[in-house]
Structure 1
Amino acid sequence: MESDDTAIDEVLTEVGPRLKRIRTRRGMTLTALAEATGISKSTLSRLESGQRRPSLELLLPIARAHRVPLDELVGAPETGDPRVRLRPRRRGDGSTVIPLTQQPGSIQAWKTLFPAALHEPRVVTHEGYEWLYVLAGRLRLIVGDHDLVLEPGETAEFDTRLPHWFGSTGDGPVEILSLFGRQGERMHVRAAPHSRRKLG
């Protein structure tokens, strides 16, 4: 019977090739992964080739960048459970984002909860296309020159290369579903326009 140390070594040996397969499947370069994780390109290369022993400190940011469970990186056995592990993330503006998809792909689904507090719009642009559906509350949506309020049950879709922002109108919390591609993860902040028509 093999020792625990031998079994662990065998698992760790497989981590490097698995990291490379996941990165390649996502179409991500080592340079892009280094930017997303803060880990140097040379360290990532050594990890994938097996020259660097994987550690939790290195694997956690890689798992976050790929948006996959840590056990997928280390090759934990499949449980066969199709349920998505919901891991809410709190953002700086007070909103909570809940990923509804766990596998990398061209389309990702999210549920977002915005607090009732009214925030100054921070308009952003990025490559891709976004679809929103309001579950509850009133959503303020700014896209280009449009400044709109969406009620529960209303849907919007737009080219995310246009300056846009969405959040609570200040009347109460808002809950939405959104779909967008992985290229939408990297955003570029623009200054909010000074003049916007007032909400009714």
Structure 2
Amino acid sequence: MAGVGPRLRALRRARSATLAALANETGLTASTLSRLENGKLRPTLEQLLPLARAHGVPLDDLVAAPPTGDPRIHLRPVRRSGLVIVSLTRRASGIQAYKVIYPPAGQAPTMNLRTHEGYEWFYVLNGHIRFVLGEQEFQLSVGEAAESDTRIPHWIGSADSQPAELLTLFGPQGERAHLAPPRH
């Protein structure tokens, strides 16, 4: 945080902005801006956010945040009941995200409808899915999605001789994945 003042001054001067102009732009006083630039005032988040916006830089650049390191995520697939399951969520509660790969029809365990607590939403990434929900049966292809209360007897599997891949969101306490329409 020690270098914030000089960075703020350099950014303002690079834009050829006066303290008064920056004060109008950010809602901060010219006096506060001067004290921040001279290191006489320790900046708060409420001060840094409008300054980052005004200068058009990420907040991390203002505070010289250290690099985050390796951005790669190392996922560990798990094999269960003939499926390959990759957890995409790191937290223990709330809606969980998974990539699930179903083996080709005929190589999967026999269809066995099951029930459990929760709510599930899935999207077909690759292949064709056979989805049995209670007395109904559905065929889904790439780009299609379905959702259901998992207390209703259900079964999901590949519909043909190819594996099928799904992106699944599961709410163990019945949470639903709500998709909001775009706002105009």
Q: TM-score range by the shorter chain?
A: 0.5 to 0.7
Aligned to 2:79: 90
Tell me the TM-score normalized by structure 2.
0.52
Identity of aligned residues (%): 50
Q: Distance in 2 between matches of 1:104 and 1:180?
A: 12
Aligned to 2:147: 157
Aligned to 2:3: none
Which sections of structure 1, spanning at least 5 residues, go unmatched? 1-78, 185-200
Aligned to 1:196: none
RMSD over aligned Cα, in angstroms? 1.9
Letter in 1 for 2:97: A
- 1:144 pairs, out of 134, 148, 153, with 134
Q: Distance in 1 between matches of 2:129 and 2:77?
A: 20
CA change 1:82–1:122 in 2 (3 A) is: farther
Aligned pairs for 1:1-150 (under 5 A) are: 83-92=72-81, 94-118=82-106, 119=108, 120-150=110-140
Aligned length: 105
Counterpart contact for 2:105–2:157, Cα < 8 Å: no
Which sections of structure 2, spanning at least 5 residues, go unmatched? 1-67, 175-184
Greater helix fraction, Structure 1 or Structure 2: 1
The higher radius of gyration belongs to 2
Counterpart contact for 1:84–1:102, Cα < 8 Å: no
CA change 1:81–1:101 in 2 (3 A) is: farther
Counterpart contact for 1:84–1:101, Cα < 8 Å: no
Q: Which runs of 4+ in 1 moved over 4 A?
A: 79-83
Q: Distance in 2 between matches of 1:115 and 1:156?
A: 19
Partner-residue secondary structure (3-state), 1:101: coil
Counterpart contact for 2:126–2:142, Cα < 8 Å: yes
Deviation at 1:82, TM superposition (A): 5.9
Tell me the TM-score normalized by structure 1.
0.48
